[in-house]
Structure 1
Amino acid sequence: MSAVLASVAGAALNIGTNPLAIAGLVPIVAAGLTFLRYLRFDPEDHPVSVQKLLPEYDFVIIGGGSAGAVVASRLSEIANWTVLLLEAGPDENEVTDVPSLLGYLQLSNMDWMYQTSPPTDSQYCLAMIGDRCNWPRGKVLGGSSVLNAMVYARGNKRDYDAWEAQGNPGWSYKDILPYFRKSEDNRNPYLARTDYHNSGGYLTVQEVPWRTPLAVAFLQAGKELGYDVRDCNGEKQTGFMITQTTMRRGHRCSTAKAFLRPVRHRENLHIALNSQATKIIIDRRTKRALGVKFVRSGRNKVVRAKREVILSAGAIGSPQLLMLSGIGPKEHLESLNIPVISDLKVGYNLQDHVGLGGFTFIIDDPITFTRNRYQSINVVMEYLLREKGPMTSQGVEGLAFVNTKYAPKDGLWPDVQFHFAASSINSDSDQIRKITGMRDSVYNTVYKPLGDAETWSLLPLLLRPKSTGRISLKSSNPFVYPDINPNYFTHKEDILTLIEGIRIGLNVSDTPSFKRFNSRPHKMPFPSCEQYEFDTDEYWECSIRHFTFTIYHPTSTCKMGPENDGDAVVNPRLKIYGLENLRVIDASIMPNIVSGNTNAPVIMIGEKGADLIKEDWLGQHFRKT
């Protein structure tokens, strides 16, 4: 190990202080040093991808992401059950572990690299190439929990109470809170000892150990606007907070790391990587799911399921696979010559959190997170040896949940969320432009003039959009990506709510806490918005429709609902209507999107879904804890 460290130090001496050279070296150095950290500190090795599979398993799970990894771990607790987890992508690696490098993971071989279709009924993503927004989704063991910003947010109590009120017993807040706590190993004592958190679970949750001075200003600004600084995952959601993350000792804690590595030696759990499911095998006479067709190493394979097939491929992959298997809207499937087994509203009700990207503020003090300032060999060494420093930052230093005039009057169900970042869009401009798909002409006009200015940003997000979209097939070929139509902003109130949220963001900048840094908004308009005066409704609507920004929270395309709900695809026990031995357990089952980041709720769905399966096969007396 000392020899490797010496060679790294030598490389650092050779590149001197050239920031471009340092920036190019950081991913390589971080990968090597993180690997050494695993050897030295982390006894949990990666799970093995089993090459020789059994012809039949009790349970076959499609998708090893935020939910699928949880389900596989929990079902394999029953020693006499055999479980196969099929994952289309590879395993995570050392680079995925480094929070500050999350931008390098999108558009990689671990990303499905989806894009929205060009808008038809509404205008959005107009600043992006081809008017298409990128929608990264994890194609890797651990799924999108490997690509995301690790934000741990549960949503609002009323989200889940509303689910139950729609005819889904067992999904109220009091019912699902124990599943959030079951997963959690909270490393912040002031949180862990409350009734809303827990320690000792598989999933490590902690606040980021490093932040800029602006994080304190953000919290103080919230107080100056009349909001409380609180645990927004606790008793009440409205307020400002330091971001809680799925992080362990300053490193990413994906669901693969949390739920699969500790149980990798279970003989009844097999994991097959680089194995893409192409069809669910269903007996047309009995309507029973029998198994799964999949492709591995270029070869078509089949595996049978003795008890159940469980679909955890996400809000895009799950409806796609159901429709390819003959479960979906009758007319749509027939148009593609797919034999219809069950006529259900699969792919409808698509919801996402969407907002205004690039909402930027300029300050005078040199205290923001910039690549030139923090990506150096000293920072890398601090990350390795002390598990601290700027490389533990995942970019989102603070969260806030605020109320516009369109929110319920009691103030307990906020309708806009802020992601606070003390960094400039120019800090890593090439990567940001690549990730967003922004047109060069837009970047050069709006953001390039900022140069090396010190900036911070807010991402205002619409928490409960009224506009819904749809996932539909383009082809019966499973390797052709589906049509993704998010249908953003077809309801005018979505735009008006976001505009109100943006103005609350302007008020954050105008508080004494930010004025001490001479904070002021960046007012350069998008080229197509120049005719509108800054801070008019028309100016902000034009800006929103151009730099449409999503943090990739697609949900609700296999809606959970009661039998009399004509839009429901699964019942409250997550079984698909009209079929036997087939369930969906992922974000697609949400009747409505939650008021916050979706990764923690999807893990909760995985926990509860696994218990529903155990109850159905082992009896209602099964213990849930």
Structure 2
Amino acid sequence: MAKMNHCQVLLWLLAGLALAAAQSENVILETLNFLRRGQTEVNLENYDNTIQMGAEYDFIVVGAGTAGCALAARLSENPKWNVLLLEAGGPERLVMDVPIVAHFLQLGEMNWKYRTQPSDHACLAMNNNRCNWPRGKVMGGSSVLNYMMYTRGNRRDYDRWEELGNPGWGWKDVLPYFKKYEGSSVPDAEEEFVGRDGPVKISYVNWRSQISKAFVEAAQQDGLKYRDYNGRIQNGVAFLHTTTRNSTRWSSNRSYLYPIKGKRPNLHVKKNALVTKVLIDPQTKTAYGIMVQTDGRMQKVLARKEVIVSAGAINTPQLLMLSGVGPAKHLREVGIKPIADLAVGYNLQDHTAPAVTFTTNVTSLKFEDFADPTWLTRFNRREGPYGSPGGCEAIAFWDLDHESDEDGWPDIELFMVGGSMSSNPAISRAFGLKKSIYDALFAEIEDKSLNAFMIFPMILRPKSRGRIMLKSSDPFKYPLIHANYFAHPYDVDISVRGLLKAISLMDQQGMKAINAKLWERKIPTCKQYPYKSWAYWTCYVRHFTFTIYHYSGTAKMGPKSDRAAVVDARLRVHGIRNLRVADASIMPEIMSGHPNGPVFMIAEKAADMIKQDYGYIK
């Protein structure tokens, strides 16, 4: 293949996506093949994958996702430490950095393509009643796959972590780490709370649709203030803060590893390297290395100081259990000898949002429009919708239990997407919708070329807890994911209330000005309930259990006295020396927002704790 420049790649990609929207699934697959094939011409990686791994390193970081890239970069700041960063996936590529194509990335090989176990009370609109759970299998991990929505959560989330027995994790302690990694150019961010000089770029998207402006106006008419929701008070509405800069995704890989290209001989990065086991001496209970499948063979690599697992809330508990760290009874059932009996895999949490669709008389995002030459020209000027993260444009936070409390602890988030399920052929495939459900609810929008948009009411503090379990002792077999959505009645209740809040915004003048109306098509399998009754909306919520990809909590941080805890407040695995975890799995309770930002914070704090423990203070 001839070498392609940035514009040629972009034009090829967008032409394929536009044709996909207008013609057939075959074009989608061809576009995805382009993403998969691995052309070196559009590979923006900084590290050669042909490195010869050493036999021993000071630190081995497992997983080059949001946390892993940050940790490896920070630990390698000490030139006396040799650091190995291992990633099961391949390189990040140019097309992955175009924010609008986020939907399509979930269909490619940069996604682990996990699925939950079948359920009879959730995921009912999805094939086989199983929700798709995307996870990044690529340098940068899920920061390459996500929708770039930047939130910190609420200060009370972190004070709560500290109350649960984790000193040093209160809001006052974690705020400096948020500010350390943030490179925000959001002009109206509260200066006391924002970081301006960090590696992770955060910005508004230049392009704003009429729909997003109407959403922001309607939320204000409903009583919210326009504010920096990452500042002192979270409740409010705003155009979305995104981990983008100049219409480009700012992944962890781009943020932390790109700037040190060729500058850190003490940092080795190995892609396409699946770690299958952490080596732990059963007598001394000390981690001393890993086994990794790479370059066509299994290899052993030793760690002089520590192994740090940053593989995410699914892969981290899987790897710990494969290594003998986990619930002893479960490990024995799959033929693994327990070394440490810990509640690994429990406490699984996620945010869900039952998207609601509305029609409007103003233009919404449709993929065939991306072939318009005018829009392509606008993209080259860093304008147009290409910088919009999968069409997500605006966000609002409510404390529905205390709506009069301006500084409440929000329990619902509404975010607005400037298109519908039928706007982009990748969306329904990414969610795994049943064809019968799609045809009944959304096909007519596509057939009539209607303008439509969605609002996602995301529950922020779910009470249900799921579990990750091993299917077998084979590291190449995917784990079993028991999401356990809606096991607690609160989660159903707050989801319905959030859905009704989204619908109520249509009564505000801002939405009336664009003739926004609920798309009133009924779910066939909910027809036994009166339309728009509480029972109907409950049925709706149980059908459209859309994950927002916020899996967390499966290696819970807490004191040794907490039988559910896996790591202590310094992220050391209880009962095992020289083994830490640093990723979303350590969250004792999920925070009130999108966790990509908080995972950067966890990595930054973990790096400093490790430096302190080994006497390296810059």
- TM-score tier after normalising by the smaller chain length: over 0.9
Deviations 1:473-496 (A, max 9, x none): 110000111110010101111111
Deviation at 1:519, TM superposition (A): 1.3
Distance 1:325 1:3, change over 3 A: closer
Q: Could you tell me how far 1:381 is from its partner in structure 2?
A: 3.7
Q: Structure 1: which 5+ runs fail to align?
A: none
Which among 565, 574, 594 is matched to residue 577 of structure 1? 574
* 1:441 maps to which of 436, 442, 454: 436
1:279 counterpart residue number: 277
Deviations 1:9-68 (A, max 9, x none): 9999x99x987379959969998xxx99999xxxx8622224211100000000000000
Q: Superposed, which structure 2 residues align to 1:290-329 within 5 Å? A: 290-329=288-327
Q: Distance in 1 between matches of 2:122 and 2:8?
A: 49
AA partner of residue 496 (structure 2): I
Question: What displacement does 1:5 show?
Answer: 9.4
**Is 1:487 paired with 2:487?**
no
In the TM superposition, what is the alpha-carbon distance from 1:248 to its structure 2 partner? 1.7
Partner in structure 2 of residue 454 of structure 1: 451
Determine if contact 2:370/2:376 at 8 Å carries over to the other structure.
Answer: no
C-alpha distance in structure 1 between counterparts of 2:568 and 2:332, whole Å: 25
CA distance in 2, matches of 1:5, 1:128: 37
Q: Does 1:67 align with 2:67?
A: yes
1:418 maps to 2:414: yes
Match of 2:85 in 1: 85
The separation in 1 between residues aligned to 2:317 and 2:164, in whole angstroms, is 22
TM-score by length of 2: 0.93
Aligned with residue 394 of structure 2, among 394, 398, 416: 398
Task: Kindly provide the amino acid, as one letter, of the partner of residue 296 in structure 1.
Answer: T
Partner of 1:477: 474
Q: Distance in 2 between matches of 1:160 and 1:421?
A: 29
Q: Is the 8 A contact 2:10 2:95 kept in 1?
A: no
Alignment of 1:26-425 (within 5 A): 46-119=46-119, 123-191=121-189, 194-265=191-262, 266-357=264-355, 359-365=356-362, 367-383=363-379, 385-394=380-389, 395-405=391-401, 412-425=408-421
483, 497, 502: which one aligns with 1:500:
497
Query: Match for 1:255: what amino acid?
Result: S
Tell me, in whole angstroms, the C-alpha distance in 2 between the residues paired with 1:341 and 1:3: 52
Q: How many residues align?
A: 605
Q: Deviations over 1:441-485 (max 9, x none)?
A: 111111112231111110001101111000011100001111100
**Aligned residues of 2:233 and 2:407 also touching (Cα < 8 A):** no
- The code of the aligned residue for 1:534 comes to Y
- Deviation sequence 1:487-527 (CA, Å, 0-9, x none): 01011111111111111111112110111122111121111
Q: Which structure 1 residue ranges, 4+ long, deviate > 4 Å from structure 2?
A: 1-12, 21-31, 35-39, 406-411
Residue 548 of structure 1 aligns to a residue whose secondary structure is coil
Superposition CA RMSD, Å: 2.7
Structure 1 length as normaliser, TM-score? 0.92
Deviations 1:510-551 (A, max 9, x none): 110111122111121111112222321101110011111111
Q: State how far apart, in whole Å, the 2-side matches of 1:489 and 1:133 are.
A: 13
Q: 1:612 to 1:320 in 2, by over 3 A?
A: same
Question: In 2, are the aligned partners of 1:151 and 1:244 still within 8 Å (CA)?
Answer: yes
Give secondary structure in 2 for the equivalent of 1:382: helix
SS of 1:592 mapped into structure 2: coil
Runs (5+) with no aligned partner, structure 2: none
Is the contact between residue 22 and residue 377 of structure 1 (CA under 8 Å) also seen in structure 2? no
* CA offsets 1:592-624 (integer angstroms, 9 cap, x no match): 0000001000010000011110010016xx35x
1:151-205 alpha-carbon deviations (Å, 9 max, x no partner): 11000000000000111010001100110110011123332x6111122211100
Secondary structure of 1:236's partner?
A: coil
Among 412, 423, 427, which residue is 2:423 paired with?
A: 427
Whole-angstrom CA distance in 2 between matches of 1:29 and 1:118: 29
